[in-house]
Amino acid sequence: MAAVKTPAGTLLFAPLTAPFQRRYQRWLRRRLPPARVITLEQRRLFIFPTRAGFFFMLALLVMLLAAINYQNNMAYGLTFWLAMLFVVAVHFTHGNLLRLTVVAVSARSAFPGQRAEFRLQLRGTQRRGHCGVRLLWPESEAFVDVPPGADVTVNLFLPVTSRGWFVPPRLTIASVYPLGLLRCWSYAQLDMRALVWPKPLTPPSAVITDASSSGAGDANQSGNDDFLGFRDYREGDSLRRVDWRGWAREQPLQTRVLASPQSTHHWLDWAHFPQGDTEQRLSWLCWLALHYDAQGQVYGLRLPTVTIEQGTGPRHLEAVLTALALYGVSDRPRGAL
Amino acid sequence: MPQQAMPPLAMTWLMASLVMVMLPHVPRMPLWILLVYALAALWRLQMLRARLPMPAVAIRLLCGLGGALLVWLRFGTLIGLEPMVAVLLVATGLKLLEAVRLRDGYVLVCLGLFLAITQFLFSQSLPLVLWIMLSSVLLVTALILLNQTPGTRLSYRQPLLALRMLALAVPMMVALFLLFPRIDPLWSLPSRIGQGSTGMSDVLSPGSVSRLARSADVAFRAQFVDEVPSPSERYWRGMVLNRFEGGAWRRTDMRQLPPNEQTVFSPDRLSAAIRYRVIMEPSQQRWLYGLPYAQSNSPGVVASPDNHLLLQEPITGQFAYDVETWLGVRVDQALSPWRRDYEQQLPPGLNPRTRAWVAANGATTPRQFIDRVLAYFRTEPFYYTLEPPPIADEDFVDRFVFDTRRGFCEHYAYAFVVMMRMAGIPARVVGGYLGGEYNPVNNTLIVRQFDAHAWAEVWLAGEGWRRVDPTAAVAPERVSLGLEAALADDPGFLASSPLSAYRFKGIGLINWLRLRYDAVAWRWQAFVVGFDSDRQIRVLQSWFGELRPGWFVMVLFGSALLVLLPLTWWMHRVRRAPSPLATERRFAVIAEQLAQRGMARGPAEPPLRFLKRVRHYLEKNDPLLLELEQAVAALYQTPAQFNSGSVELKVQHSR
């Protein structure tokens, strides 16, 4: 469920307002369904004066009183002109956000405690562009202009806490442009999610030796020094082993082949950790996966539900981490969406 | 919303536009107030460059209190338009010093708009209105600059947007202006103080009229329905001065008249009416001017028992009234004994030489005696001049008639009426204007301060009050050609109006422009500034027939809709959203570009897989990769979740 910030003062009345809040949230969800590409149409936009707007209206009232009391036609004229400017500003502020398109481009994975990167794209569908657009998430915001006919990519970072899928809360898209007297805004429940890996935790030292396969004792050897030769780059090779110097000489991309001792083949096995609970076990396995990957060793994963064959390289690591992250997590956990 | 800082660009722009708004106040305000603003602005600019800190709260408070105190010392009060404006100016300057947050920007803009309103309380002339309109565009531009994203540069776009928004607001403003009910003041507000009255004064002493000849300011304009009367008929009667006291002619307060003398006598009309509309410039006096004998039904205008027009309140702004005049009339054919006695009173003992001359030149009829006096003025060496030798003598008439013989119209009128009363003829001084420049553009007479004039009225049995202008005996061209012709070489003429456009009327083009402009100014005064509830009702009745309150509301909303609907349509014109086909094409174009870089898409390779494959060969921030991601995201309406390949990077961040 999307988190909605409530001012502290309303907590007192929370029991009273809660049903209404729930109903309001339900109504918002119905009115603004989640989607990958959201164009801010008329019915999605809300508009209301800002504090500066109310201050401006107060100033207009004082000016009107001056006009009445001094019977001054030019004072009337200026007051009416500015009042009608306010009306025109309603249109301009509304028109500034109208048909702005927000595209959920991508979400990057992260470990708990980190911030996951969400990439959004703002696309102007009007000739005049959109100015001073503010994208607001509770802990992240951006303030950008979308020039006419251009796309703007915005990266927002949201802190993630627990393993599994992280669905960002409802995004607020707001703008007070051009006069700052009115605020036009919309909510967008973007259909995007980031995968949160397990938190890497150092396993009990005994387990490391237990967990490693036969030939323990070689675990700390790097093996990187035993250079055998080059072969053509293949997808999934570690970037650290790419021969960048050769590539810089405009030779084809090649990978250094290193002599890996047999003893560095490992299995990350769920069954090796009988003592911890599920999250702990996953955290330990995660740590081990990162550990082996850093040392360039070959490892595989055995979970009760899934087995990943032994391998190496970033894509392998990603597959392992993903399997760990999704262990016991349904693909569509937030059915509410 | 977190506290946001004010963009420096908006700050400097605001400072400049505030200067624009307050500029017309400069002549009215003590100089130090402008220095306060200039200092505050300079300090604020140094703050922008981080060379000076913001002054402490205590210092700002002290400055504020000190400013108010100085204003109080200067004006002697804080209640009144000028001191209030002065305080507002000081407050604006000090607010500038502490304006660092975004919301301070809004406060400054509102202060600027207040200042704009205060300008109109002093003048509503066309140039000022244009100036304030320009300032408003600048202030609205400042509002736009406050809301730009950081780093936005100043361009023609921001003022243009402000101009466009304000232009779109004009039609609805006009509708509101026409339809908003002009209600009476809710309470009284302080008015202007220390404002000297201008124009003819109601105390006629030597020099009181000639000082006006130094100014080319407009006293009033009169637009005639039909033909404009000939120059010798352009006697604008203002006030009747029939009480001699303290060496000067003064008017008689209406309340001091006996009750049966307070009725207004309606003269016999012998000719057709001349109709015209007069717009007075603010004179801070109650006198209205009209050709003799004038009647007016305009609201607020009263007729006095002496058959001239006046207001109950001094004129503080332009005042318009309609007048009907009959040049041929008989006024007061019968004079009451009290009146006859009152109009002959003179303090005894003064001017013995004149008294002797009057006794020696006695005539059988008043008419004969008048002719004798006028002939004396004409034949003896009397001169018409702006700068006569000063006479500081109780027996002013003696010294003037027999010694100096140099004077302006007030000298001749003064002496003439004294001589008439000595001879037992009821006589009085009349103050007003004589002449007026004819503007053919709008059939208007423009009467300026230098047209101020004083003449005499004499009561003749069977004829009533008759106008006699003793100046005409000395300088007949004053009446027929105007003051300019009579005093062409006098250095005092227009001495205080060195740059008046009137001085350049000899140059054809300038004169043409000047008269055109004056016609525009007339229209402005008559139809916009003078738009009151009467005129409002008349205008609306002429458009909609009988007025009902519901009409106001309907017309108001109707005109708002008339503007808002096209505006809404214009802003909400549907621009075609990218079709699915366009999305496909977009993806295809990017794939083609990638293929040229050696990353061809496999036959029937799903876009997402293509993206995942290509990603490993491209830099993270490669624009083509970003575009591909977006294109794929647009193709798939599924959750956007692509795991990145840069796991190493993440690991370094984790503990």
Residue B115 sits in the same domain as residue B244: no
Tell me the residue range of the domain where B217 lies: 205-345+424-504
Judge whether B63 counts as a catalytic residue: no
Element (H, E) at A187: strand A182-188
| Gap between the terminal Cα atoms of chain B | 33
- CB-defined contacts A:B, below 8 A: 236
In 3D space, the residue among B482, B473, B414 whose CA is nearest the CA of residue B209 turns out to be B414
**A73/B contact by beta carbon, under 8 A:** yes
CB B48 within 8 A of CB B12: yes
Q: Do B177 and A315 touch (CB under 8 A)?
A: no
DSSP 8-state symbol, A46: E
Residue B445 sits in the same domain as residue B305: yes
Q: Do A66 and B189 touch (CB under 8 A)?
A: yes
Which of A75, A126, A200 is closest, CB to CB, to B117?
Answer: A75
B356-364: long-range contacts, CB 8 A cutoff, minimum separation 24: B357/B401, B357/B419, B358/B419, B358/B422, B358/B423, B362/B423, B363/B423
User: Strand A140-146 to strand A130-137: parallel, antiparallel, or no bridges (unpaired)?
Assistant: antiparallel
Residue B563 belongs to a domain = no
DSSP SS3 for A53: helix
Q: Which of B92, B125, B154 is the last residue of a domain?
A: B154
* Closest-CA distance of chain A to residue B500, Å: 25
Residue B141 sits in the same domain as residue B224: no
Listing DSSP states for B519-558 in one string gives HHHHHIIIIIIT--HHHHHHHHHHHHSS--HHHHHHHHHH
CB B177 within 8 A of CB B382: no
Q: Which residue stretches of chain A have pLDDT < 70?
A: 1-14, 125-127, 205-229, 257-264, 330-337
How high is the pLDDT of residue B352? 87
Let me know how long chain B is.
Answer: 655
User: What value of ipTM does the predicted structure carry?
Assistant: 0.77
Residue B224 sits in the same domain as residue B302: yes
Q: For B531, how many CA atoms within 13 A lie in the half-sphere containing its CB?
A: 24
Query: Scanning every residue of chain B, which has its alpha carbon at the shortest distance from the alpha carbon of A94?
Result: B571
**26-55 in chain A: CB under 8 A from chain B:** 35-37, 39, 42, 51-52, 55
pLDDT digits (tens, 9 = 90+) for B399-418: 888 888 888 888 999 999 99
Residue B24 sits in the same domain as residue B120: yes
Q: Which of B446, B471, B504 is the last residue of a domain?
A: B504
What is d(CA B548, CA B525) in angstroms, rounded to the nearest whole number?
A: 28
Judge whether B616 counts as a catalytic residue: no
Nearest-10 Cα torsion for B532, B537, B541, B544: 90
Residue B386 belongs to a domain = no
Q: Do A91 and B183 touch (CB under 8 A)?
A: no
Residue B74 sits in the same domain as residue B144: yes
Q: Mutual orientation of helices B81-98 and B57-75 as an angle, nearest 10°?
A: 160
CB B494 within 8 A of CB B500: yes
Residue B371 belongs to a domain = no
Q: Which residue stretches of chain B have pLDDT < 50?
A: 1, 577, 638-655
* Closest-CA distance of chain A to residue B160, Å: 12
Residue B117 sits in the same domain as residue B264: no
Q: Which of B137, B154, B171 is the last residue of a domain?
A: B154
Residue B211 sits in the same domain as residue B149: no
**A207/B contact by beta carbon, under 8 A:** no
pLDDT digits (tens, 9 = 90+) for B385-403: 888 888 877 888 888 888 8
Query: Scanning every residue of chain B, which has its alpha carbon at the shortest distance from the alpha carbon of A332?
Result: B639
With a CB cutoff of 8 Å and minimum separation 6, the contacts of B216 are B448, B449, B450, B494, B497, B500, B502, B503
Q: Do B165 and A88 touch (CB under 8 A)?
A: yes
Chain B residues within an 8 Å CB radius of A107: 640-642
Q: Do A179 and B147 touch (CB under 8 A)?
A: yes
Task: Enumerate the domain spans of chain A.
Answer: 29-195, 197-223+261-330, 226-259
**247-286 in chain A: CB under 8 A from chain B:** none
Counting the structural domains of chain B, the total is 3
Q: Do A82 and B645 touch (CB under 8 A)?
A: no
Which residue of A41, A44, A85 is the best one to mutate when testing the B interface, meaning the one whose CB has the most B CBs within 10 A?
A85
| Gap between the terminal Cα atoms of chain A | 8
Residue B558 belongs to a domain = no
Chain B residues within an 8 Å CB radius of A234: none
Cα–Cα distances in angstroms (integers) from residue B611 to residues A29, A314, B608, in the given order = 31, 17, 5
**A128/B contact by beta carbon, under 8 A:** no
Q: Do B571 and A84 touch (CB under 8 A)?
A: no
Residue B516 belongs to a domain = no
User: Strand A164-166 to strand A171-175: parallel, antiparallel, or no bridges (unpaired)?
Assistant: unpaired
Q: Do B629 and A105 touch (CB under 8 A)?
A: yes
Judge whether B411 counts as a catalytic residue: no
Residue B133 sits in the same domain as residue B241: no
Q: Do B169 and A87 touch (CB under 8 A)?
A: yes
Residue B234 sits in the same domain as residue B323: yes
Q: Mutual orientation of helices B157-179 and B126-146 as an angle, nearest 10°?
A: 130
